[in-house]
């Protein structure tokens, strides 16, 4: 009887150890992403913000000021208007910011989000053939700070934005990318 149970257990273990199929993106979605990046006319709308965990962010989370469903390291952005648009040579960014500033902002400015537009410096595009994704990196300055953006675009439409600043702690956003509507 022991041998029957042992045999059944071994068969179950061996059959359960198969690897998962490789989740490769469809050719149509890869081509659509290629066109999106090459056309330089797209928008990313973020649904989540991932601030750098600091004592200040933890204090805000512990005070109960965050929306339901959010916590100190993952903040729900649904209902908050935000975007990162690439249109030709220009970039337009309006993202809410959750984190700490090392250097103060403009005098009397009540908007603490990341808002910048213009022609970026060092706009670089790199394709990851294994993941069929794109990594886009650029720098842009406003009157006060210099910002460095790292975008990762996937064939599924998922997009990640990492932002480094000379005046603020780093933050990451996650959302979806889509072509800009023709005007």
> Over the stretch 77-136, which tens digit does the pLDDT of each residue have?
988 899 999 999 999 999 998 877 766 555 555 567 899 999 999 899 999 988 899 999
What confidence score (pLDDT) does residue 123 get?
94
Q: Is residue 3 part of a domain?
A: no
Q: Is residue 57 part of a domain?
A: yes
State the Cα–Cα distance between residues 83 and 152, nearest whole angstrom. Answer: 15
Q: Is residue 20 part of a domain?
A: no
Q: Is residue 149 part of a domain?
A: yes
pLDDT tens-place string over residues 15-47:
665 554 556 778 899 999 999 999 999 999 999
Q: Decide: 171 and 48 in contact? Cβ < 8 Å.
A: no
Q: Is residue 53 part of a domain?
A: yes
Q: Decide: 141 and 8 in contact? Cβ < 8 Å.
A: no
Q: How confident is the model at residue 9 (pLDDT cuts 50, 70, 90)?
A: low
What confidence score (pLDDT) does residue 107 get?
52
Q: Is residue 173 part of a domain?
A: yes
Q: Is residue 159 part of a domain?
A: yes
| DSSP code string of 21-59 | PP-PPPHHHHHHHHHHHHHTEEEEEEEEEEEPP-HHHHH
State the Cα–Cα distance between residues 158 and 46, nearest whole angstrom. Answer: 10
Q: How many domains does the chain have?
A: 1
Range of the domain at 78: 26-179
What does pTM read for this prediction?
A: 0.79
Q: Is residue 87 part of a domain?
A: yes
Where residue 62 sits, what CATH number does that domain have? 2.40.128.410
């Amino acid at each position: 009887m022991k041998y029957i149970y042992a045999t059944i257990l071994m068969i179950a273990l061996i059959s359960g150890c198969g690897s998962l199929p490789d989740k490769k993106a469809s050719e149509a979605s890869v081509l659509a992403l290629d066109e999106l990046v090459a056309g330089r006319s797209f928008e990313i709308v973020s649904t989540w913000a991932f601030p750098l965990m600091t004592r200040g962010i933890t204090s805000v989370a512990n005070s109960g000021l965050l929306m339901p469903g959010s916590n100190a390291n993952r903040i729900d952005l649904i209902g908050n208007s935000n975007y990162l648009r690439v249109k030709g040579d220009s970039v337009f960014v309006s993202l809410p910011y959750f984190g700490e500033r090392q250097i103060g902002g403009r005098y009397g400015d009540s908007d603490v989000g990341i808002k910048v537009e213009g022609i970026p410096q060092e706009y670089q595009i790199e394709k990851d053939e294994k993941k069929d994704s794109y990594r886009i990196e650029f720098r842009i300055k406003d009157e006060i700070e210099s910002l460095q953006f790292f975008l990762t675009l996937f064939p599924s439409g998922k997009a990640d934005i990492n932002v480094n600043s000379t005046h603020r702690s780093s933050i990451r956003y996650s959302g979806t990318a889509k072509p800009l509507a023709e005007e």
